[in-house]
Amino acid sequence: MGETMKAAFSKIFGRKEYSVPEDDMDISSPTVVTHNVHVTYNAHTQSFEGIPDAWKNFIENAISKAEMERNPEAAIAAAKFWKYSIRRKETDVKFIPTPQAIQEESEAIEHVFESGKDSCEIIDPAPLTGESVPHQGSTADVRLPDVTPSVIPKAVDQVDKAEVKVTQSPVQVRRKQGLKMSDDEIMEKFRQLCSPKNPESVYERDKELGAGASGTVFIAQDKITNCKVAVKDIDLDKQPKKELILTEIKVMKEIKHENLVNFLDVFLLNNHLWVVMELLDGGPLTDVVTETVMKESQIAAVCHHTLQGINYLHENGVIHRDIKSDNILLGKDGSVKVTDFGFCANITGDEKRMTMVGTPYWMAPEVVNRKHYGKKIDIWSLGIMAIEMIEGEPPYLKETPLRALYLIAANGKPDVPSWKKLTPEFQDFLNCCLEVDVERRASAKELLAHRFLTKAVSTTTLKPLIEAAQKILDKRISNVS
């Protein structure tokens, strides 16, 4: 600061003189101690340092020293993602987050990563060895807690913290937009959204199809039309984030397309939501992929119908974020429909999201590397799903999730064992989907005009494959018709 500036400050604020006691001052011990763990990746020793042995051993068992030396940034990115996304508790429910919830999640991650509790840098060994090291990177944060791998702390919920401060204050304050609703408010919203009828008077419950943390899925039959539907029964008493369920239902009521598994109705019965959806009798594409061999023309057909569903979502500001064969349902009438919007995010235009979600083996590199991402992550996942239809499984499926994340970050586009057997049109289609440079990766609309899709045959040709897979797996939905 210049002398003129100092003089101006002195004139405005004046100067205070402080006297110093003549007696010696006693400095007490600190009353609040925070143990800051300085985590580093040392390229000289080819090892993470400053983290518990349990974490260190787990990471180094998945990613070799040579791989960490060759691409430490990818190793760090994989470790970050694994901590906050892959090792989430099984009870976590996957629902469409609101823009506010997405922001909270991102802020919570950054709060833990950047608060100084855990930091990571790549140490340049050149001063020690005098040798240059390939792929040296700039300082990067890695978030590794001082716990064993089986224990992952919950991310900080910024909104919950804010609300706690409000409730502890004796002063009555106005509720700001974005604060969590009370349970009573949430249940009132559900009552407004749901059909007033008793679902048991409308549907006859039938065979259970599966169960998960968010509830059970079963087949039901309309008592008047005899039409079969799929019903997702969600016990709201067991759901910690009911607001996200509200958002999922609102979004599902608004979107409707022939290549999406469409929402039909929702009921509230004894704090249980009955979410009624279309039922497809062919089951998931995964069964066909794992048990039968598909022709290129059939793969083109599935890609075409899936792309139409994806393009509709993108045009309506929705990213699916979990495109894979498990989330493509088939009908013996030739239907191909995208389902499970549990990882969707509402976006506007080219707005990007930093949250890390999805299933690792289908995940785009920009998501693993925590770069801003947009709609084109669904296109990458579609390319991986196309490889599933060729090879029977996605790349790296036999690897642990942590190692798969490292390989995605380090390698970009994966190798396709059957590459030379593919037609030039299919090769080009895969290249368009699996372009690491997001700007050069094709959009859903562009891919719908790709010449590979002209090879598509009628999806009714999938019926023999569906029936063969169901026979092998003994999973015939049609048996309950």
Each residue's pLDDT tens digit, 234-253: 888 888 778 878 877 888 88
Residues 249 and 78: their CA atoms lie apart, in Å, by 33
- Of 143, 321, 370, 441, the active-site residue reads 321
* Bridge partners, residue 318, by sequence: 346
> For position 167, what pLDDT does the model report?
38
CATH code given to domain 283-474? 1.10.510.10
Q: Tell me which DSSP letter residue 459 carries.
A: G
Name the 3-class secondary structure at 64. coil
Bridge-based pairing state of the strands 272-278 and 228-235: antiparallel
Residues 321 and 191: their CA atoms lie apart, in Å, by 29
110 phi and psi angles, rounded to 5 deg:
-65, -35
Query: What average pLDDT does the chain have?
Result: 73
> For position 475, what pLDDT does the model report?
77
> For position 268, what pLDDT does the model report?
94
The number of residues in the chain equals 481
- Residue 313 pLDDT exceeds 60: yes
Rounded percentage of the chain residues whose pLDDT exceeds 90: 40
| Angle at 212 (CA atoms; ends 152, 393), nearest 5 degrees | 85
Average pLDDT over residues 257-271: 93
Phi-psi domain of 467 (left: phi exceeds 0; alpha: psi -120 through 50; beta: other)? alpha
> For position 292, what pLDDT does the model report?
96
> For position 51, what pLDDT does the model report?
59
Residue 154: Cβ-neighbour burial (10 angstroms; 0-12, 13-18, 19+)? exposed
Phi-psi domain of 14 (left: phi exceeds 0; alpha: psi -120 through 50; beta: other)? left
Please confirm, yes or no, whether 321 is among the known catalytic residues.
yes
Tokens of 78: 């994989």
Going by CATH, does the domain composed of 183-278 fall within 3.30.200.20?
yes
Residues 306 and 429: their CA atoms lie apart, in Å, by 14
366 phi and psi angles, rounded to 5 deg:
-70, -25
> For position 474, what pLDDT does the model report?
86
> For position 354, what pLDDT does the model report?
46
- Which contacts (CB < 8 Å, 24+ apart) does range 212-216 have? 213/90, 213/91, 213/92, 213/93, 214/93, 214/94, 214/95, 214/239, 215/272, 215/273
How many other CB atoms are there within 10 angstroms of residue 36's CB atom?
12
> For position 258, what pLDDT does the model report?
96
- Whose CA is closest to 373, among 358, 355, 359, 361? 355
Q: Is the pTM of this model over 0.75?
A: no
More confident site: 462 or 102: 462
**What b/e sequence results for 429-456 when a residue is b if at least 16 CB atoms lie within 10 Å of its CB, and e otherwise?**
bbebbbbeebeebbbbeebeebebbebb
The residue extents of the domains of the chain are 37-148, 183-278, 283-474
